[in-house]
Structure 1
Amino acid sequence: MSEIVISGYYGFANAGDEAMLAAMIEVLTDLDAGVNITVISGNPAETRQKHGVAAVYRLNYPEITRVLAKCDLLISGGGSLLQDVTSNRSLYYYLSIMLLAKQLGKPVMLYAQGIGPVCGSLAKGAMRYIGNMVDLITVRDEGSRDELKRLQVTKPRIYVTADPVLAIHPVDKQIGRAILRKHDCEGASPLVGIAAREWKDWSHYKQVLAQAADRIAAEFGARIVYLPMQFPEDAAVARKIARRSRQPAALLNEEYTTSELLSLVGNLDMLISIRLHALIFAGVMHVPMIGISYDPKIDRFLESVGDCRVGTLKSVTADRLLTKVRQLWPTINGARQLQDERLNALREKAFYNAELAIELIAAGKKQR
């Protein structure tokens, strides 16, 4: 029986990160039904309840040391853990967990991470020092591999794979229909979702989304629904945008599970998103997507499926959004063969992350 510890941004009510964890657990247990997984979490009780795994608090270093001491592998990831744009402290925190595992003689794998940007000189040095200690790295895009090269992280084997969520199984749409029914959206056609987020209290992109939502509703007869990927923050942003609109919209004002959000996205005819994992959910559920970028990870994912952003939070306009909607509208009935082929290839790469993790454990056991 293998013991895996997973370190990441878990237990913070972020649907994208919780979906990554759910996908990792799903695929790892598919490959090894006997594996025991312990998650380092901001809310261990919630993580245990949601995911059915053991969990320890992320700042309880004695307990973290205990679980690392008996594990066969530390997985760091997925997500954008190793960057210093949104936070300096978080990068050092995740590196400290990796360093602790190595000091205990344990193999460490960076699992489908989106690396960077890493800008500070101290942060770069820490990344280079600890990054070269780990045993195996998989990254979710070519840009992350380029960032590792720039940081001079060269000793571990490095593979370009795909975001873990792309390996998650599609879910039944009935769950989402039941939620939409509560908001008088069940059966609404067409249904266009918007997944927004707050960013530095900027107002421009909120006004653009409000204008675009009104124009989409008028031109296509669409019902607009706002999805909260991180609750309650995203629900608060949705209210700010909706207040700027003339047309009514449905605001989903609850915290939803990964399965519920996947099902909700599956009921959409199109999704406009600032959130990476909302875009990935659209890919998993075969829904046309439009991405607005606030971070290189958005651009990298869209490029991987043969698409590009419609703009950044600073540059996006309602006209450009409407042009993209008109271009995509003929595909809402499923005519997306090329993108689906690329998503299927990415799904296989997402599975490969777990295969490499299981192989690393097996190799470590042979050496004992």
Structure 2
Amino acid sequence: MDGINVVNKKIMVASSRKKILISGGWGYANLGDDAILLSTVDLVKEKYPDSEITVMTYSPPETSGAITDPNIRIIPSIHRQLSGTASLKRLRVADLSKPLDQGANFQLSSFQKKKRKYLLRFQDFYFANRFELFSKFPGLVSSLNEFESADLFIQGGGGYFIEGWKDSFLSRILELKIAHEQAVPILVIGQSIGPITNARFRSLATKQLGYADVLSIRDVDSFNELTSYGLKPVLIPDTVLSKSDFDYIKKPILAILLGSQPLTETQLGLFYETVIKLPDLKNLQIRITVSRLWEADLANASKLFARLKSIANVQLIIPKSSSQLQDTLGECSVLVSQNLHGLILAWRAGCACVCINTKRKFISFMEQSGQSSRVSALADLTKEKLLDFINEAFQESFTERETRRNALSTKVKSQFYACLDQIWKS
């Protein structure tokens, strides 16, 4: 397998009880990324049943609610140590203890946007200096002993390795640096990386990702970008796709899952005009939901519900866990989604998808799942196009979709195990 770079790594003995340290994009109120963690843990436990697993997360209380195995240790991530709770404010994580004001507008005022802009600049400067300090003195990292005692470090997905979120980017760089300096074998799995336009960040990423024993990413554009840096990545679809043993009974339900970009009145009208034109609408249920518990996502869902609630059988469902999100989507026949893990969780449970996002990782997933004919940017959608996509999805052969779904699940699982085997052999 390509993507191998072994530098005086610790030797793992086949009979030993492995200590495995896992980090990734969890603890950010993103239910899809919680699903990545659960899938990663399940695969590791299947491969190494006696392993000792420690999970690093931005929010230990949140992740403790997602993981039910009491034998798995949960500790604060390096990102949490670098940034404190600042990223909760950056992402604008919602307070679910307060009632959702249906139709509320969470858009920032001009003054708030300006204030936020300067705050983020200050945070970036602050975190960059903390990164330099922690890089020079890794003993400042409270979880250093976790790296020292680990037999394997797994840096999982999803799309948090981006220069636009500097403290997240630098935290993941620091994880790789410490693991390398502690001679811990490294598996990077399920990442979307970049685009990285900043020369310094690109140099940091190239150096530290080059230390991975197996460097696996989930989308073609990340693969091509890292290859252009001289790295040798492996392309493996999202880890969440490894699971497919669901038994949901499909119902005539259309789900709509929205992102954080504020919906315009024109776009709200587009959804309304499309829904009222759906065939046999009186026997169809519409579910509006989210996969991230962020204020902006909830605001969009709330606004769309307010626009559609005059139509019979329209529901607003706010899941509070990845399992609740899976159940919400699993019964559906078709999903229209702006977010990647909405698409993935729905499709792995047998639901046909319409993707209204054309970012790099979305296109790769729709191609991997055989649904590339139903992809469009929201800005390019018309009522006619969206209606055609939805009707095509409802009419798609369930048997053919099941065949593709199970084949992709088997492929992802075997490739994940092959990565572990390759590190073992190395």
TM-score w.r.t. structure 2 length? 0.74
Gaps of 5+ in 1: 175-186
Give, in whole Å, the separation in 2 of the partners of 1:78 and 1:241: 30
**Residue in 2 that maps onto 1:327:** 392
Paired residue type of 2:347: G
Give, in whole Å, the separation in 1 of the partners of 2:211 and 2:229: 14
Residue 320 of structure 1: CA displacement? 0.8
Give, in whole Å, the separation in 2 of the partners of 1:326 and 1:220: 16
Whether the aligned pair in 2 keeps the contact of 1:112 and 1:353 (CA below 8 Å) is: no
Q: Compare CA radii of gyration and give the structure with the larger one.
A: 2
Paired residue type of 1:21: L
**Residue in 1 that maps onto 2:236:** 161
Residue 114 of structure 1: CA displacement? 2.0
**Residue in 2 that maps onto 1:73:** 152
Q: 1:286 to 1:168 in 2, by over 3 A?
A: same
Residue 14 of structure 1: CA displacement? 0.9
Give, in whole Å, the separation in 2 of the partners of 1:202 and 1:88: 27
Give, in whole Å, the separation in 2 of the partners of 1:40 and 1:27: 17
Structure 1 residues 170-206: Cα deviation after superposition (integer angstroms, max 9, x where no partner): 34548xxxxxxxxxxxx9x52111111112x352544
**Residue in 2 that maps onto 1:23:** 39
- 2:326 is equivalent to residue 310 of structure 1: no
Give, in whole Å, the separation in 1 of the partners of 2:369 and 2:319: 30
Give, in whole Å, the separation in 1 of the partners of 2:65 and 2:419: 25
Q: 1:221 to 1:84 in 2, by over 3 A?
A: farther
Give, in whole Å, the separation in 2 of the partners of 1:194 and 1:286: 16
- The alignment partner of 1:253 has SS state of coil
**Residue in 2 that maps onto 1:213:** 275
State the number of aligned residues.
342
Matches within 5 A, 1:1-368: 1-51=17-67, 52=69, 53-58=72-77, 59-60=80-81, 62-85=141-164, 87-154=165-232, 158-173=233-248, 190-199=252-261, 201-203=262-264, 205-216=267-278, 219=281, 221-233=283-295, 234-245=297-308, 246-248=310-312, 249-255=314-320, 257-308=321-372, 309-331=374-396, 335-360=397-422, 362-363=424-425
Give, in whole Å, the separation in 2 of the partners of 1:110 and 1:323: 39
Give, in whole Å, the separation in 2 of the partners of 1:217 and 1:236: 28
Q: 1:91 to 1:213 in 2, by over 3 A?
A: farther
Q: 1:349 to 1:63 in 2, by over 3 A?
A: farther
**Residue in 1 that maps onto 2:3:** none
Give, in whole Å, the separation in 2 of the partners of 1:297 and 1:194: 19
Give, in whole Å, the separation in 2 of the partners of 1:21 and 1:353: 17
Residue 169 of structure 1: CA displacement? 4.4
Which stretch of structure 1 is more off in the superposition, 202-211 or 340-349?
202-211
Percent identity, please: 23
Give, in whole Å, the separation in 2 of the partners of 1:56 and 1:210: 45
Give, in whole Å, the separation in 1 of the partners of 2:400 and 2:238: 19
Whether the aligned pair in 2 keeps the contact of 1:10 and 1:41 (CA below 8 Å) is: yes
Structure 1 residues 183-230: Cα deviation after superposition (integer angstroms, max 9, x where no partner): xxxx9x52111111112x352544433432333377574221112211
Paired residue type of 1:54: R
Gaps of 5+ in 2: 1-16, 82-139
Whether the aligned pair in 2 keeps the contact of 1:77 and 1:110 (CA below 8 Å) is: yes
Residue 254 of structure 1: CA displacement? 4.1
- The alignment partner of 1:38 has SS state of strand
Residue 6 of structure 1: CA displacement? 1.2
Paired residue type of 1:236: A
TM-score w.r.t. structure 1 length? 0.85
- Computed over aligned residues only, the root mean square deviation of the Cα atoms, in angstroms, reads 2.4
- The alignment partner of 2:379 has SS state of coil
Residue 137 of structure 1: CA displacement? 1.1
Paired residue type of 1:5: L
Which stretch of structure 1 is more off in the superposition, 227-236 or 1-10?
227-236
Whether the aligned pair in 2 keeps the contact of 1:194 and 1:224 (CA below 8 Å) is: yes
Give, in whole Å, the separation in 1 of the partners of 2:196 and 2:221: 13
Structure 1 residues 82-111: Cα deviation after superposition (integer angstroms, max 9, x where no partner): 2235x2332222111111111111111111
Structure 1 residues 311-361: Cα deviation after superposition (integer angstroms, max 9, x where no partner): 113212222110111222223xxx244443333232123213431343255
Structure 1 residues 269-292: Cα deviation after superposition (integer angstroms, max 9, x where no partner): 211111111111122111111111
Whether the aligned pair in 2 keeps the contact of 1:235 and 1:252 (CA below 8 Å) is: no
Residue 294 of structure 1: CA displacement? 4.8
Whether the aligned pair in 1 keeps the contact of 2:159 and 2:191 (CA below 8 Å) is: yes
Paired residue type of 1:241: L
Residue 15 of structure 1: CA displacement? 1.0
Give, in whole Å, the separation in 2 of the partners of 1:35 and 1:50: 19
Give, in whole Å, the separation in 1 of the partners of 2:402 and 2:228: 32
Give, in whole Å, the separation in 1 of the partners of 2:224 and 2:214: 16
